[in-house]
Structure 1
Amino acid sequence: MKSFYKVLIVDDESILRNGLKHLCNWEDEGFKLIGEAANGKEALEMIKDKEPNIVITDLIMPEIDGIELAKIIKKEYPRIKVLVLSNISEFDYVKESFKYGIHDYLLKTEASPESMLPILKNMVKEIDSDDLNENKYNEEKALEDLTLDLILEKEIDEESVEKLFKYFTLENYCLLISEIYKEDDDNIGLEIIKEKIRDSIKETLVEYIKITTFIKNKIIIVINHNNHAQLKMLKDIEMVTKDIFENYEISPFILIEGNDIKRNIHYSYEEALIIKNKSIYFDKALIRKSDIKERSIKIKFDYDLFNSLIGKLDFNGCIHIIKKYLDIIKENTYMEEYDLKKFCQNLIYNALSSLENYDSELINISKKKIVLFKKIDIARSFNELVNIVIDTFKYIDDLSQNSLNSKNNSYIIKIVKDYVDKNYKDEISVATISKDLSINYNYLSYCFKNETSENLSSYISKVRVEKAKIYLEDFKIPIANISEMVGFSEHNYFSKIFKKYTSLTPTEYRRMVKINDKKR
């Protein structure tokens, strides 16, 4: 049965529609008229129902005109070819319509078999070419899917296996994997990058049997080759991976060489993933198995020292121990990329979390944790990762130093001492003072010690002891009551602290006061 290319006529003038219907014997020319419409709105309903290959349309029509119709066809039915018929007075309008997807135009006064049929047959060639490319694309996509199934050890039927190995006919293979880094959820942008990478591989490695495919944002390339072509192929691989690495935000390519694709490609893939976990230590486009040197040295990070330095606001000290530890990690490459990035994120998180109640500027940067963590997630090299961490700590240090310099520390000490003087009877501590005065705990401790050369907790105890001395001079007040009056919940603890600062117990102190009174 002969197949025809389906044609739809669209014009608001019935005379012109009838003229086109009888222009020639359409079926003898390989075409079949599937209908006619009086405007773009009717045309779209028929296009949806009958799926024409070619639309012949007038420009000026009610409801939806020819240009709007061409726009919609280009967007929703890109495989349909559009031929515009126009009057000579509408030529500027015709030129405008070309950017909206029309494929050709013809003046209505020249609408004859001799002028129209060559245009339609050129459109047919484009349709056939599109179909050929579509079929080729479908075949390539099928091979990609089969290759992925083989790599991931999925079940493949015998017919598909046979099809795949009619394509992969040579003994040896190279497997390359990389990963596209994404800063957001722009899937359209990701697909564009994938196609550009696919085109680069196709154009540069044109002489090799190859498949380029993707698992989400992971790039997978399989190249089938003979031994005699290996050296040249490796040079070509180095060239194309370097070019892609320099032009796109991707991780280094991991190269695994092997033979017997059917049996071994899955193991090569697993091996490549293991190596990829260490790729961040190598600032180059292509990494081979021989680049990875296994070392067993593992040293724990000193979190106690790190947190102590943060408590003292000594961020330069933090930078020093971070650099030292990261140097050891790089030298031994024992930490995988995921763990390394999580470690760096934890350092920043700990620093910011301990300071976020301290200063408005530090609160602002604390809110940027997500941005910083994303930068770490997409860092491509070890040095880039280190720079993010160190720069963040330097920035925090600058902010904290500016804040320290801008605050009147003497004033802070004064309000703290006033607070203790008013509240010594209550259960107060460094933590409660920090909360009530909205001063960061670490900063409060550091500032008080720095300004007074004593700990705030010691100062609180001294104030309570001094107040207790006053009460002890009033012999009517029982000593047991005095301990509660100055903020001590346990009498024994009160006696212990009192003796620490006076070398006397409360009872001994009161006895001494009585003796002195008698002497007067």
Structure 2
Amino acid sequence: MKTLLIVDDEVSLRKGLIDTINWNKFGYQILGEASNGDEAIQLIKENKPDIVLTDIVMPKLNGIELTKYLSKFYPEIAILVLSNYSDFDYVKETLIAGARDYLLKATISEKTRIDSLDKIIIKKTHEESYLTLSDLIRKVLNQELSEKEQRYLTNQLRYPKCYLIVSDLFTLTTQNQLDFKVFVKNNLKDTFIFSNQVQTQQIYLLNTHYTQQQILTFFNQKKINFPFFGCLSEELTSFKDLKTKIEELSLKLNLRFNSKNKQLVLTNDAFIFEKLPLFPMDDFQTALSHFNEKIALDMTQSYLDKSASLTLEETKIKNSLIGIFYQIYTHFGDHYPMFADVNLEKSKLLSDLTSPLTFEALLIETQSKLDDFKTYLDNQENNQDTLFKSRLIDYVNEHAGEKISLKEVANHFHFNYSYFSSYFSRLFDMSFIDFLTQIRINKAKELLANETLNISEIALATGFSEISYFSKVFKKQTGTSPTLYRRKWR
């Protein structure tokens, strides 16, 4: 049932209009009556009728001024003007100001009144059928809303506060966009959400009673289960100049990289960027060129560890890591053909290190690549260690009867002495002296089984210059003397 407010300074006319028609029969309800525009405005603020039936000439605020006021602040209300023949110039003003139609007081009958009311209701309904709330929001987000439509929208919104949220469209699938709206509706009670795509951004308009801080806290505490990130506006005071607001929000989307676990930021949020850690590029390149890959990878690991605790500019850290990893991939691709996929990986390196949306994701990606190289080196090293151990045992066996030292062995295999010492201990889990002694005693056992050499000759053949020292060492290693050991073979 449509509601009706009657405004006229003549009491008899007001009462006549109210009492002479069975309004309910025709689907109308009298909401109230007023003697001038000022009284009418007070009643309209309290009750918001569908139609105002108003005289033109009235004290205080006349019908023309009332029509202008309603067109500005309540464009959804239909206005029907009552007039006399002598008021026609005024009628034109009210029609220009926004009145839907007019009735001549001298000719109005019940049928005329009802027909006129029905006509403007049908016209109003027809117009609004093409201007739903969703249509209006879409026009808002596309910056196409007229001032009259803005006023109409303001009166149609259920809740007092409106906010914009802008997110990157390329990070959201169509399903994600629907899920986001469902997430808001299910968790932010008493909130309407509307959305629209503007270029590469997805724009959301929230109509709610929550404050900006409440919305921000909610989003950053209750996580969405897909990669959502957006920027939240301040409360909108009007729907004017939304293009500028959307542009400001869009610029803040670059905060995503350093946002850590935040899903929503504000337009006044900012980061103070720190300098990139110093990377020893010359030493790194030297290590690779000398095939000291583990040292180069350790340098890279240290760089990642230092970077992880800093707030860094996205472009700078990505470019830095791309430069480092490109050299690693190139080195392994050129010198380790067993690393079959390295050239394929190098071809997608740029994509892999530019696509992460957050610093955390970038660190995870680079750490994964670094770990792959470490694992590969460990596997290679294990294989190389097995081959080298065999070569080393053969060499020491061959030279066991000579004066031989760790330094001489390191030089023979082109190792740095200090590195070789620790490397040898890791390979054999014993010192070089103990290893050499074990080789010599094992060789002595073989010779003692052969009766052609006496014990003194065997001592000299296994690198012992004195027979007494040889006997002492032999007994310590085997638990018996060389003489008794030989007897076992007779």
TM range (shorter): 0.3 to 0.5
Q: What's the TM-score, normalizing by structure 2?
A: 0.43
- Which of 1 and 2 has greater Rg? 2
**Which protein is richer in helix relative to its size?**
1
